Structure 1
Amino acid sequence: MPTPHRSYDSYVALGDSFTEGMCDDLLPDGHYRGWADRVASALAAEHPDRDFRYANLAVRGKLIGQIHDEQLAPGAAAGAQLVTLAGGFNDVLRPGCDIDRVERLLGDCARELRATGATVVLFTSTDPTRRLAGGARLLPVILRMKAFVQELGTEDGIAVVDLFSAPCFDDRRLWAEDRLHLSPEGHRRVAEGVLEALGRPAAFDWRAPLPAAAPPGRAERLRADARWLRTHLGPWIGRRLTGRSSGDGRPPKRPELLPYR
């Protein structure tokens, strides 16, 4: 359910590549824009005096334990009126995921952030089964996480953006070439979903399917699959085997709660 409409003068985003904004449009400083920046822009527009502050502590590749250990304390200490929290999907992608631990840490983060007085926004994962090869393997854990997040959403001051129930995310046009991160259109729709959860009137139906398009031919699909295996899946497997992450050594793009322009 959407939270009642209220004005927010500060916003902190916590999470992994989803919240960092991977594969959205590039900003002049070389960072990706992302749905969280889009939300910040919309909320800042409600403050003509420019008295709106925004921080984004999310870093690509982070597991929920790293989000808990590295982002929770500074996120809570910032004292923002609004916090978004997305995490756990990187854990779910890995074999042998300890789902009990993931839920415990995610719940601890959400409740500690809520204890600061902030409105907290959480997310369910999209449904991978109709988009990703092997997605059915992940479904039982994703459904369990979905139920857990929605239960957290029944607590006062916690809202949930239900991406799982939005079939538009089955469309590959909402995803980047790597098939794991959102395209600019995907980020635009998630941002609208967050604003709707915060009680803002809808600018458009973010759940609506895209206009129909001719499906790619077999040769085009094979070329795209080969390119994906070579450019994205292979390096991802390599990082898993060597214990590396795409976010190793990378700082957050907006580590401090500063005025948003």
Structure 2
Amino acid sequence: MPTPYRSYVSYVALGDSFTEGMCDDLLPDGHYRGWADRVASALAAERAGGESADTGFRYANLAVRGKLIGQIHDEQLAPAVAMGAELVTLAGGFNDVLRPGCDIGAVERQLGRCAAELRATGATVVLFTSTDPTRRLAGSARLLPAILRMKAFVQELGRQDGFAVVDLFSAPCFDDRRLWAEDRLHLSPEGHCRVAEGVLEALGRPAAFDWRAPLPAAAPAGRAERLRADARWLGAHLGPWIGRRLTGRSSGDGRPAKRPELLPYR
């Protein structure tokens, strides 16, 4: 259920590459835009009546690609709590689930602690269920038990006062590879647009479009085209990802958040 409509003057986003905005359009400063920036833009525009004047709306995005839920807890939670924003989005845990031997109970405990501390500030807290990778990625069936358990956990949190959940798992549009970047892990610009609309709907805004609806049908790719795409993906994305796992490195090592302070957003 969406939360009752409320006008927000401040928003902070916590998470990993999903919230950082990986593979969306690039901004002039070299950062990706991402669904969280799109949400901030819509909320700022509400206060301006659709104009570009400064309305006092402030936005911070602490998300960094590659972060595990424990790192989100240790590195992003305290700064976010100190900001005291009226709205918080929290997404994390999928990077943990991708790793063999993931302790899903520990992930739930860390996510639950983050959610509780953020809610204790009085903020509206928006959570997310993961999409279902098994409907588009071969070999991902091993992830499904953990994803389903996390889905149930997040939905239970979302039943509490002050929480809202964006259910990506049940949205059929995310089965379509056109909503995903070439690396098959991060959203395309269309995917980010749809997640942003899902967040705004969860915050009680009237839907601008049906963000869950499938895309128009497209001609299926031929076998040769699929093989070429698979080969590019193996070399450019899966191989380097496995290499980082084997060496204990992360794509976010040493990378700062793109908006570490709660500053005016126009």
SS of equivalent to 1:207: coil
Offset at 1:51?
1.2
Offset at 1:31?
0.1
Structure 1 CA distance for aligned equivalents of residues 243 and 105 of structure 2: 27
Runs (5+) with no aligned partner, structure 2: 48-53
Offset at 1:134?
1.1
Offset at 1:119?
0.1
SS of equivalent to 2:19: helix
Deviations 1:48-75 (CA, angstroms, capped at 9, x unpaired):
x521000000000000000000000001
Offset at 1:165?
0.3
Q: Are 1:3 and 2:3 an aligned pair?
A: yes
Deviations 1:153-189 (CA, angstroms, capped at 9, x unpaired):
0010010000000011000000000000000000000
Offset at 1:135?
1.5
SS of equivalent to 2:133: coil
Offset at 1:106?
0.2
Offset at 1:248?
0.2
Deviations 1:126-146 (CA, angstroms, capped at 9, x unpaired):
001111111111001000000
- Return the TM-score normalized by structure 2: 0.97
Structure 2 CA distance for aligned equivalents of residues 182 and 89 of structure 1: 14
Paired residue for 1:115? 120
Structure 2 CA distance for aligned equivalents of residues 6 and 135 of structure 1: 39
Deviations 1:184-233 (CA, angstroms, capped at 9, x unpaired):
00000000000000000000000000000001000000000000000000
Residue in structure 2 matching 1:143, options 114, 131, 148: 148
Offset at 1:28?
0.2
Count of residues paired in the alignment = 260
Structure 1 CA distance for aligned equivalents of residues 155 and 23 of structure 2: 27
Structure 1 CA distance for aligned equivalents of residues 219 and 145 of structure 2: 32
SS of equivalent to 1:152: helix
- Return the TM-score normalized by structure 1: 0.99
SS of equivalent to 1:252: coil
Stretch of structure 1 that moved more, 132-141 or 148-157: 132-141
